[in-house]
Amino acid sequence: MKFFVDTADVAAISELNDLGMVDGVTTNPSLILKSGRDILEVTKEICGIVSGPVSAEVVAIKADEMIAEGRKLAKIAPNIAVKVPLTWDGLKACKVLTGEGNMVNVTLCFSANQALLAAKAGATFISPFIGRLDDINLDGMELIADIRTIYDNYNFTTQILAASIRTVNHVTEAARIGADVMTAPPEVIRKLAMHPLTDKGLELFLADWAKTGQKII
């Protein structure tokens, strides 16, 4: 499974990238706002840090305007994936931008039928939102499983990018089901390394080591 980090915080991206934990980055207008920086400037910097896809989202709602914005975003760097919403206009923009050789991430997916349309429109990535479905008492993982089955049935090449990941369990389940990519905030990725038994075991080892009175350095 590929790991994308869902942030526009360049310091966090750099740290995770240095550890080999970043295969790409996803951003959106909310994350750009949180960064407090110009979208073109911060996106270009992120593209220079990571070699994988960096999703930059359009903000227009009409197809022609989405296409124009997407073309401008795509010029930032070769690893830009233009992010468009899963609306009818977004699908039109996806078809055109993909046809021009751009990577396209179709976002805000909440149903298998939407994912099927995105694949038909040539999307590079489809981003089903797990956490937001869980918020309204639906099973986000069920959606990932449905999309996986449909894409495998027809050999669609669109990659399933599990998004709106809130917990480490979301990551585990998405990997078990077979999502191609998951994108999560830096803090969720860091929590993947945590386990109370690891902490307990380390505490015991260090206590025993102290009793030996030895030093390695």
DSSP string for residues in 147-158:
HHHHHHHHT--P
Q: Are 28 and 83 in contact (CB under 8 A)?
A: yes
- In this prediction, residue 21 carries a pLDDT of 95
Helix (H, G, I), strand (E, B) or coil at 122: coil
- In this prediction, residue 178 carries a pLDDT of 98
Residue 92 designated active-site: no
Residue with tokens 């939102």: 129
- In this prediction, residue 165 carries a pLDDT of 97
Residue range 154-175: average pLDDT? 98
Q: What gap in Å lies between CA 4 and CA 167, rounded to an integer?
A: 15
Residue 100 neighbours by CB under 8 Å, 6+ apart: 71
What is the separation of C-alpha 101 from the centre of its chain, rounded to a whole number of angstroms? 21
pTM: 0.95
- In this prediction, residue 198 carries a pLDDT of 98
- In this prediction, residue 74 carries a pLDDT of 98
203 pLDDT band, cuts 50/70/90, is very high
* pLDDT tens for each residue of 92-120: 999 999 999 999 999 999 999 999 999 99
* pLDDT tens for each residue of 126-135: 999 999 999 9
2-212: what fold? TIM Barrel (3.20.20)
> Of residues 44, 83, 95, 211, which has the active-site annotation?
83
